[in-house]
Amino acid sequence: MKILAIDLGEKKSGLARTDEQFVVGGGVISGYGAYNEFIDAIKDIIAEYAIEQLVIGLPQSLSGQQADKYRDIIKKVQRDTNLTVATVDETLSSFEARRRQPSNTHNGDDDEAAAKIILEDYINQNR
């Protein structure tokens, strides 16, 4: 099954996808704050790579309005792509992405690496 993982962000969102049996980076797109641009990019990737399922990181530490905002975005993505959307706790994915990068290459842009971790976690949980 071809899966696209999204590390949601308001300004930018990181992507990772499965390619055959491997997890590969998918780059960074605009965040959900520019929703139309964001969803158009997601739809283009779904079509280009024949994506069958989405996995979106959902921080479990969120509460109140912030949690509701993420859940609303996830519902909109599911509605607008007509794909199943699974969520994975991504509370520490950005921290783990920074930890995995060699210190001499860290540039503060961990969105794609965080999306890879989200996808790896999903795959490991569903084996």
**pLDDT tens digits for 98-115?**
666 655 455 556 888 888
Q: Residue 104: its pLDDT value, please?
A: 46
CA triplet 76, 48, 24: central angle to 5 degrees?
Answer: 90
Return the structure tokens found at 94.
């950005």
* pTM, full prediction: 0.85
Which range of 49-53, 65-69, 119-123 scores highest in mean pLDDT? It is: 49-53
Q: Residue 15: its pLDDT value, please?
A: 94
What are the φ and ψ backbone dihedral angles of 44, each rounded to 5 degrees? -65, -40
Q: What is the span of the domain harbouring residue 58?
A: 3-125
Q: Return all residues near 23 (Cβ < 8 A) that are at least 6 apart.
A: 16, 17, 116, 119, 120, 123
Output the domain CATH number for residue 19. 3.30.420.40
Q: Write the pLDDT tens digit of every residue in 78-87.
A: 999 999 999 9
Q: Is the dihedral of CA 119, 113, 7, 28 positive or negative?
A: negative
Number of structural domains (the chain) is: 1
Q: Facing residues of 25 across strands?
A: 16
